[in-house]
Structure 1
């Protein structure tokens, strides 16, 4: 029947043509509902590509024009346009059918998805090979029409993303020349090895030692073009904005944002939507040195965590034996020797000194074999050694966790490992929700817990701090933790294992 319709119409069609125009949003059936059949060509039915289109220009874009035969019999229409699109030059690419209107428009989102699925999100012009199909309709009968293929050239919607970004600001000042606002002191954001349009997230950890530190962001393009402050520098719309998240701008009057309080912060940029997020973190610092065999393996070497005294001050108390030397690693930098903190001079055994970064040497306890507290102050970038008055602290055979998780049964305590004298560590300790304490020698003679009433200290809220000798029960939510404990100071850390 469809062939009869086709031949009937063919004899009635003149070979002059007219251009057609229809509403893209007209109510037509989805192309996938039409049964497969052999497509036919009809004299005068043809299509031509439009100029290259930018998918950021609107919800729909015109990608072709078409002409149809004139003098079609009354009641005959050309309807239900669709494009069968195949990405050019992509091996094994599958054809995708998208709905089109008779005025040559398709939904931008349809082309965007085809390009992203086959080429990625980078905003460069792509070529899509397309076959146009339509239905010639009369009195409920239809013939499938096609014509010569066309080539669609389209650029996907995406912002410009540089290959790298750098933060500049007050917090990086070294001196009046290297003032934190130039290439000599800028700090590079970290990024994965993926294309920036597949992974638009950039991250940076910074430490500010003073309040009200202003910042902006420099793209790699400006570095490459040897024009540091050219258009493209990222900032905010309001000068001194101290919001912890917001939108970045790189055109118009770009102002400096601000971090209001001294501390350590993680900064995340999402350059696909030009946003930033700043999160204050209580950092985790670890000792690497003779006491843990200079183990740089992040999965095994994080046994000696410094105990936080505040956000910026961390300390470790033990008997510093053998070489009695150490460097420090921020948890996120563990294993990266260029990111170690230490003494300005390798082997320095002075009672205090300056903490330095790249090129740091090992700091050495002033009196090898003695009990000392090593304290690092990251607000002043200094360290000091303090000798303990008591050089013969009580020795315990075991330190364990006991609590509701094991029915307070001393026979099934979770034993911690002594990693340095009087410092105990438990790796990936799984706990059920409930109260618990630290105890020594599987007995109640020596135990450590919280202050106030049982359960007042919740490690979900106070994951680090100081226990009280023979104190009350602490409380821990169900979870898996790395546990650190010092039986001299009573200090503890419950680090959640993700």
Structure 2
């Protein structure tokens, strides 16, 4: 049984009154209304679920309700309609149809693209206009139910095959793809980066559905491969489950001195893939509000594996980029601790301005910040006991303290009163120009009172200045 909702017939007594609610559906004249209009019954009937997956390609309009217009006593009055959902107005015709594109955009933006039925409160407003007088009538609330169109997307995906750290076992979950942690229908992108040497690499990927299916049937039908066929993938293309491909369908990547890593990116909204051959440089750069977006601060990777570290003062939003001289290929935030290169938002400001250890992993496309609450000095002068804290000088970008060294001996600097991160001499205890956090030597300092200035930025560029007082 179709449920009908009657229009309310709050008739406007004059043109002046009606123009308070008037939109540009008509252009009433400022003349007194000649007569009151009487209308017959009108109604709005809801329709079934609007499933965007079932809408034909190229279809421009979709029916969201059935309108039975009230009957005007004056046939010169022509009705025009407005559909309102959640405060947004949509043009709707007398048959109860709206634009597919506009409704789909509203549903996706309001609820996301997860293919579940979404119920919305709606009303129909009707303007009657004869060129002289306009009146407005509105229906009571009724329900529109729509279901977004999206493919099946799993929560997790796993690389399997002949790459380091993986196997051809369908149940192997040792190499999961990274994801932002958002709803997978709002962010359908998954990535994994793995090391390579020269040679050919064959692999595929699975998800929880493939694992469960294989566990039950012992078949590989749900394992994903390239839609182009076994080993016929390009650097970009489409993925499909093997039950659809009809062959082995594994991916193949050949490396000949042109990559140290392969980044494998999936977009499961359109079932597409992309491969990138990567050779990580020695530096990536932080830039942000702390310098008015004017200074590129280097972070260093000693091993060429995409893992970078540096120490800088942060005050506000920031991002990373591969070159000090330009913004090409910069890295933005795509969720807490996640990086992307698709032009998303800046990385959010830390909870408080201050000095931070900044870690970036371009293989995993992640970053994290470690607050440096203390840099302290400890050594023979205090029997390696109580730390002497330094104070951060924002203007000079250094940690400083004036302290008495009671006797000749060695000393070091450490972070947050912990030996997990400490700085000493690189090669010898007399090398103050290149301090290292890699098991550095005790720094040799003669007895006396000194001003210490410690400049920390990245491995290979840390230095200590001391001035005797």
The TM-score, its normalising length taken from structure 1, stands at 0.48
For 2:149, the equivalent position in structure 1 comes to: 157
| CA distance in structure 2 between the partners assigned to 1:41 and 1:150 by the alignment | 24
Query: 1:170–1:181: 8 Å Cα contact kept in structure 2?
Result: no
For 1:66, the equivalent position in structure 2 comes to: 67
Q: 1:133 Cα shift?
A: 1.1
| CA distance in structure 2 between the partners assigned to 1:243 and 1:158 by the alignment | 25
For 2:82, the equivalent position in structure 1 comes to: 82
Matched, 1:417 2:435: yes
Matched, 1:219 2:220: no
Question: Where do 5+ consecutive residues of structure 1 fail to align?
Answer: 7-30, 87-94, 286-301, 312-328, 337-392, 400-414, 424-480, 486-498
Q: 1:173 Cα shift?
A: 8.3
Out of 240, 248, 261, the residue aligned to residue 249 of structure 1 is 240
Structure 1 residues 234-255: Cα deviation after superposition (integer angstroms, max 9, x where no partner)? 5322431342222333473263
Describe the SS at the equivalent of 1:115: helix
Q: 1:61 Cα shift?
A: 1.6
Matched, 1:207 2:195: yes
Aligned residues: 284
1:84-483 aligned within 5 A: 84-86=84-86, 95-171=87-163, 179-184=167-172, 187-209=175-197, 211-225=199-213, 226=215, 229-231=220-222, 233-250=224-241, 252-253=244-245, 255-261=249-255, 263-282=260-279, 305-306=302-303, 332=363, 415-420=433-438, 482=458
Query: 1:172–1:180: 8 Å Cα contact kept in structure 2?
Result: no
Q: 1:129 Cα shift?
A: 0.9
| CA distance in structure 2 between the partners assigned to 1:96 and 1:122 by the alignment | 22
For 1:50, the equivalent position in structure 2 comes to: 47
Describe the SS at the equivalent of 1:188: coil
Question: Where do 5+ consecutive residues of structure 2 fail to align?
Answer: 1-10, 16-21, 29-36, 283-298, 307-359, 369-425, 442-456, 462-469
Change (3 A) 1:398 1:242: farther
Q: 1:274 Cα shift?
A: 2.4
Q: 1:96 Cα shift?
A: 1.7
Q: 1:41 Cα shift?
A: 9.6
Change (3 A) 1:115 1:274: same
| CA distance in structure 2 between the partners assigned to 1:212 and 1:96 by the alignment | 55
Structure 1 residues 58-91: Cα deviation after superposition (integer angstroms, max 9, x where no partner)? 4432111111245854333222x111113xxxxx
Describe the SS at the equivalent of 1:124: coil
Question: Which range is displaced more, 194-203 or 230-239?
Answer: 230-239
Query: 2:170–2:210: 8 Å Cα contact kept in structure 1?
Result: no
Change (3 A) 1:186 1:168: farther
| CA distance in structure 2 between the partners assigned to 1:421 and 1:78 by the alignment | 83
Q: CA RMSD, aligned part only?
A: 4.4
Query: 1:64–1:105: 8 Å Cα contact kept in structure 2?
Result: yes
Q: 1:197 Cα shift?
A: 1.7
For 1:317, the equivalent position in structure 2 comes to: none
For 1:377, the equivalent position in structure 2 comes to: none
For 2:341, the equivalent position in structure 1 comes to: none
The TM-score, its normalising length taken from structure 2, stands at 0.50
Query: 1:216–1:233: 8 Å Cα contact kept in structure 2?
Result: yes
Describe the SS at the equivalent of 1:111: helix
Change (3 A) 1:134 1:68: same
Structure 1 residues 188-247: Cα deviation after superposition (integer angstroms, max 9, x where no partner)? 111122211222221111124563322322222233454563447353224313422223
Query: 1:171–1:210: 8 Å Cα contact kept in structure 2?
Result: no
Change (3 A) 1:204 1:483: same
Describe the SS at the equivalent of 1:249: strand
Q: 1:124 Cα shift?
A: 0.7
Structure 1 residues 67-120: Cα deviation after superposition (integer angstroms, max 9, x where no partner)? 1245854333222x111113xxxxxxxx22211121111123333343334322
Q: 1:273 Cα shift?
A: 2.8
| CA distance in structure 1 between the partners assigned to 2:236 and 2:262 by the alignment | 12
1:482-493 aligned within 5 A: 482=458, 484=460
Structure 1 residues 149-184: Cα deviation after superposition (integer angstroms, max 9, x where no partner)? 32101012333211111122232587xxxx525213
Change (3 A) 1:307 1:186: closer
| CA distance in structure 2 between the partners assigned to 1:85 and 1:97 by the alignment | 7
Structure 1 residues 261-303: Cα deviation after superposition (integer angstroms, max 9, x where no partner)? 2742121212223222222223589xxxxxxxxxxxxxxxx98
